A and B are shown apart, each in its own frame.
Chain A
Amino acid sequence: DTAVSQTPKYLVTQMGNDKSIKCEQNLGHDTMYWYKQDSKKFLKIMFSYNNKELIINETVPNRFSPKSPDKAHLNLHINSLELGDSAVYFCASSRGDGEAFFGQGTRLTVV
Protein backbone atom coordinates (compact mmCIF):
# COMPACT_ATOMS: atom_id res chain seq x y z
CA ASP A 1 0.00 0.00 0.00
CA THR A 2 1.68 3.18 -1.22
CA ALA A 3 2.22 5.71 1.57
CA VAL A 4 2.43 8.87 -0.54
CA SER A 5 1.07 8.57 -4.04
CA GLN A 6 1.14 11.10 -6.84
CA THR A 7 -0.68 11.11 -10.12
CA PRO A 8 0.23 11.27 -12.87
CA LYS A 9 3.78 9.98 -12.86
CA TYR A 10 4.52 11.61 -16.20
CA LEU A 11 2.89 14.68 -17.69
CA VAL A 12 3.72 16.14 -21.08
CA THR A 13 1.85 19.26 -22.08
CA GLN A 14 2.09 22.34 -24.25
CA MET A 15 2.98 25.83 -23.12
CA GLY A 16 0.02 27.81 -21.96
CA ASN A 17 -1.99 24.83 -20.77
CA ASP A 18 -3.32 24.37 -17.24
CA LYS A 19 -2.58 21.13 -15.44
CA SER A 20 -2.98 19.54 -12.01
CA ILE A 21 -0.97 17.03 -10.06
CA LYS A 22 -2.67 15.08 -7.31
CA CYS A 23 -1.16 13.79 -4.09
CA GLU A 24 -2.60 11.54 -1.44
CA GLN A 25 -1.08 10.14 1.72
CA ASN A 26 -2.48 7.31 3.80
CA LEU A 27 -0.10 7.75 6.74
CA GLY A 28 -2.38 9.95 8.82
CA HIS A 29 0.14 12.80 8.71
CA ASP A 30 -0.89 16.37 9.39
CA THR A 31 1.71 18.09 7.20
CA MET A 32 2.13 17.84 3.46
CA TYR A 33 4.58 19.47 1.07
CA TRP A 34 5.32 20.14 -2.56
CA TYR A 35 8.92 20.19 -3.70
CA LYS A 36 10.35 20.96 -7.13
CA GLN A 37 13.45 19.18 -8.42
CA ASP A 38 15.08 20.88 -11.36
CA SER A 39 17.21 19.39 -14.09
CA LYS A 40 20.30 19.64 -11.89
CA LYS A 41 18.56 17.58 -9.20
CA PHE A 42 18.23 20.58 -6.89
CA LEU A 43 15.25 20.17 -4.55
CA LYS A 44 13.42 23.21 -3.34
CA ILE A 45 10.31 23.50 -1.21
CA MET A 46 7.34 25.21 -2.80
CA PHE A 47 4.48 24.85 -0.32
CA SER A 48 3.59 23.21 2.95
CA TYR A 49 0.19 22.61 4.49
CA ASN A 50 -0.60 21.60 8.04
CA ASN A 51 -4.13 20.31 8.61
CA LYS A 52 -5.31 21.99 5.39
CA GLU A 53 -3.75 25.31 6.37
CA LEU A 54 -0.96 26.85 4.30
CA ILE A 55 2.14 27.30 6.47
CA ILE A 56 4.94 27.63 3.95
CA ASN A 57 4.66 29.50 0.70
CA GLU A 58 8.03 30.05 -0.89
CA THR A 59 8.66 32.47 -3.71
CA VAL A 60 6.62 30.64 -6.29
CA PRO A 61 4.81 32.25 -9.25
CA ASN A 62 1.12 32.86 -8.71
CA ARG A 63 0.47 30.43 -11.53
CA PHE A 64 1.09 27.69 -9.00
CA SER A 65 -1.77 27.11 -6.60
CA PRO A 66 -1.91 24.33 -4.03
CA LYS A 67 -5.21 23.04 -2.77
CA SER A 68 -5.79 20.81 0.24
CA PRO A 69 -9.36 19.50 0.37
CA ASP A 70 -8.51 17.46 3.47
CA LYS A 71 -5.37 16.64 5.37
CA ALA A 72 -4.74 13.50 3.33
CA HIS A 73 -4.66 15.33 0.00
CA LEU A 74 -2.57 18.15 -1.40
CA ASN A 75 -3.01 18.93 -5.06
CA LEU A 76 -0.95 21.30 -7.18
CA HIS A 77 -2.57 23.26 -9.98
CA ILE A 78 -0.44 25.10 -12.50
CA ASN A 79 -1.85 27.72 -14.86
CA SER A 80 -0.36 28.93 -18.11
CA LEU A 81 2.50 26.46 -18.13
CA GLU A 82 5.91 27.69 -19.24
CA LEU A 83 8.97 25.84 -20.50
CA GLY A 84 10.76 26.62 -17.23
CA ASP A 85 8.15 24.71 -15.27
CA SER A 86 9.56 21.46 -16.61
CA ALA A 87 10.84 19.58 -13.59
CA VAL A 88 10.06 16.70 -11.28
CA TYR A 89 7.54 17.63 -8.62
CA PHE A 90 7.56 15.70 -5.37
CA CYS A 91 4.83 15.51 -2.81
CA ALA A 92 5.76 14.62 0.75
CA SER A 93 4.11 14.24 4.13
CA SER A 94 5.28 14.36 7.72
CA ARG A 95 3.75 13.59 11.11
CA GLY A 96 5.63 16.41 12.75
CA ASP A 97 8.69 14.58 14.04
CA GLY A 98 10.76 15.83 11.15
CA GLU A 99 10.81 12.75 8.95
CA ALA A 100 9.23 13.36 5.57
CA PHE A 101 7.93 10.61 3.35
CA PHE A 102 8.16 11.34 -0.36
CA GLY A 103 6.07 10.26 -3.28
CA GLN A 104 7.59 8.88 -6.46
CA GLY A 105 7.49 12.22 -8.21
CA THR A 106 5.70 13.62 -11.25
CA ARG A 107 7.91 14.41 -14.21
CA LEU A 108 6.39 17.43 -15.93
CA THR A 109 7.60 18.26 -19.42
CA VAL A 110 6.36 21.44 -21.07
CA VAL A 111 6.85 21.59 -24.83
Chain B
Amino acid sequence: AQSVTQPDIHITVSEGASLELRCNYSYGATPYLFWYVQSPGQGLQLLLKYFSGDTLVQGIKGFEAEFKRSQSSFNLRKPSVHWSDAAEYFCAVANSGTYKYIFGTGTRLKVLA
Protein backbone atom coordinates (compact mmCIF):
# COMPACT_ATOMS: atom_id res chain seq x y z
CA ALA B 1 0.00 0.00 0.00
CA GLN B 2 1.12 3.51 -0.70
CA SER B 3 2.21 5.52 2.30
CA VAL B 4 4.19 8.57 3.29
CA THR B 5 6.14 8.92 6.51
CA GLN B 6 7.36 12.16 7.99
CA PRO B 7 9.34 11.02 11.03
CA ASP B 8 9.60 14.44 12.66
CA ILE B 9 6.39 15.83 14.11
CA HIS B 10 8.02 19.03 15.34
CA ILE B 11 11.26 20.74 14.37
CA THR B 12 12.66 23.92 15.86
CA VAL B 13 15.45 25.86 14.22
CA SER B 14 16.97 29.27 14.69
CA GLU B 15 16.46 31.91 12.06
CA GLY B 16 19.29 31.74 9.55
CA ALA B 17 20.03 28.09 10.26
CA SER B 18 19.72 25.40 7.63
CA LEU B 19 16.72 23.09 7.52
CA GLU B 20 16.04 19.56 6.41
CA LEU B 21 12.62 17.94 6.69
CA ARG B 22 12.48 14.22 6.11
CA CYS B 23 10.04 12.31 3.99
CA ASN B 24 9.98 8.62 3.15
CA TYR B 25 7.46 6.99 0.88
CA SER B 26 6.25 3.57 -0.05
CA TYR B 27 5.02 3.22 -3.61
CA GLY B 28 5.10 0.46 -6.21
CA ALA B 29 6.17 2.52 -9.20
CA THR B 30 7.94 5.80 -9.74
CA PRO B 31 5.94 8.19 -7.65
CA TYR B 32 4.92 11.74 -8.18
CA LEU B 33 6.21 13.54 -5.08
CA PHE B 34 5.25 16.87 -3.60
CA TRP B 35 5.93 19.17 -0.71
CA TYR B 36 3.17 21.48 0.46
CA VAL B 37 3.23 24.16 3.15
CA GLN B 38 0.29 25.16 5.31
CA SER B 39 0.42 28.40 7.28
CA PRO B 40 -1.92 28.72 10.26
CA GLY B 41 -5.53 28.99 9.16
CA GLN B 42 -4.59 28.73 5.51
CA GLY B 43 -4.86 26.22 2.72
CA LEU B 44 -1.98 24.28 1.29
CA GLN B 45 0.53 25.84 -1.06
CA LEU B 46 2.75 23.79 -3.32
CA LEU B 47 6.46 24.29 -2.65
CA LEU B 48 7.83 21.89 -5.25
CA LYS B 49 7.16 18.67 -7.10
CA TYR B 50 9.05 15.79 -8.64
CA PHE B 51 7.79 13.74 -11.56
CA SER B 52 10.94 12.60 -13.33
CA GLY B 53 14.34 13.78 -14.50
CA ASP B 54 16.77 15.70 -12.35
CA THR B 55 16.51 14.36 -8.83
CA LEU B 56 17.27 17.73 -7.24
CA VAL B 57 14.20 19.91 -7.53
CA GLN B 58 14.04 23.63 -6.89
CA GLY B 59 10.91 25.17 -5.52
CA ILE B 60 9.52 28.46 -4.33
CA LYS B 61 10.72 30.44 -1.32
CA GLY B 62 14.25 29.06 -1.62
CA PHE B 63 13.30 25.44 -0.92
CA GLU B 64 14.72 22.42 -2.68
CA ALA B 65 14.21 18.68 -2.39
CA GLU B 66 16.16 15.65 -3.48
CA PHE B 67 14.61 12.44 -4.71
CA LYS B 68 16.62 9.38 -3.68
CA ARG B 69 15.10 6.25 -5.10
CA SER B 70 17.46 3.92 -3.23
CA GLN B 71 16.32 5.39 0.07
CA SER B 72 12.69 6.02 -0.94
CA SER B 73 13.16 9.54 0.32
CA PHE B 74 12.26 13.04 -0.79
CA ASN B 75 13.73 15.35 1.83
CA LEU B 76 13.07 19.08 1.81
CA ARG B 77 15.90 21.51 2.45
CA LYS B 78 16.50 25.20 2.83
CA PRO B 79 19.94 26.70 3.44
CA SER B 80 18.77 29.60 5.60
CA VAL B 81 15.42 29.66 7.34
CA HIS B 82 13.39 32.84 7.76
CA TRP B 83 10.91 33.47 10.55
CA SER B 84 8.10 33.47 7.97
CA ASP B 85 8.87 29.83 7.17
CA ALA B 86 7.22 28.75 10.42
CA ALA B 87 4.34 26.54 9.27
CA GLU B 88 3.22 22.96 8.80
CA TYR B 89 4.93 21.06 5.99
CA PHE B 90 3.38 18.11 4.23
CA CYS B 91 5.02 15.59 1.95
CA ALA B 92 2.71 13.80 -0.47
CA VAL B 93 2.82 11.07 -3.07
CA ALA B 94 0.35 10.85 -5.93
CA ASN B 95 -0.83 8.16 -8.26
CA SER B 96 -0.01 9.15 -11.83
CA GLY B 97 -3.40 8.07 -13.11
CA THR B 98 -5.94 9.38 -10.65
CA TYR B 99 -3.69 11.89 -8.89
CA LYS B 100 -4.96 10.61 -5.59
CA TYR B 101 -2.71 12.35 -3.10
CA ILE B 102 -1.52 10.53 -0.02
CA PHE B 103 -0.16 12.89 2.56
CA GLY B 104 2.28 12.40 5.38
CA THR B 105 1.30 13.43 8.87
CA GLY B 106 3.12 16.72 8.56
CA THR B 107 6.06 18.39 10.29
CA ARG B 108 5.48 21.55 12.26
CA LEU B 109 8.36 23.97 11.90
CA LYS B 110 9.06 26.53 14.57
CA VAL B 111 11.61 29.27 13.93
CA LEU B 112 13.39 30.97 16.79
CA ALA B 113 14.38 34.62 16.41
Contacts and interface: CB of A to CB of B under 8 A. Distances in A.
Interface stretch (B39-47, B61-69, B71-79): B39-47
Given A41-B88, A55-B98, A90 B43 contact: yes
Interface stretch (A14-22, A67-75, A101-109): A101-109
A63 interface: no
Nearest to B90: A43
A1 interface: no
A97 to B, nearest CB: 8
Contacts of A77: none
B96 interface: yes
B83 interface: no
Contacts of A98: 32, 34, 49, 51, 94, 96, 99
A96 B43 contact: no
A31 B101 CA distance: 12
A105 B43 contact: yes
Interface in A15-57: 31, 33, 35, 40-45, 48, 55-56
Contact of A56 (B42, B44, B45, B98): B98
Contacts of A11: none
22 contacts: A31-B99, A33-B101, A41-B105, A41-B108, A42-B103, A42-B105, A43-B103, A45-B100, A45-B102, A48-B98, A55-B98, A56-B98, A90-B43, A90-B44, A94-B99, A96-B99, A97-B51, A98-B51, A98-B96, A99-B34, A99-B46, A102-B44
Interface of B: 32, 34, 36, 38, 42-46, 49, 51, 88, 90, 94, 96, 98-103, 105-106, 108
Interface of A: 4, 31, 33, 35, 40-45, 48, 55-56, 90, 92, 94, 96-105
Query: 10 smallest A-B Cβ distances: which pairs?
Result: A102-B43, A43-B103, A102-B44, A98-B32, A104-B43, A41-B106, A94-B99, A56-B100, A98-B94, A103-B43
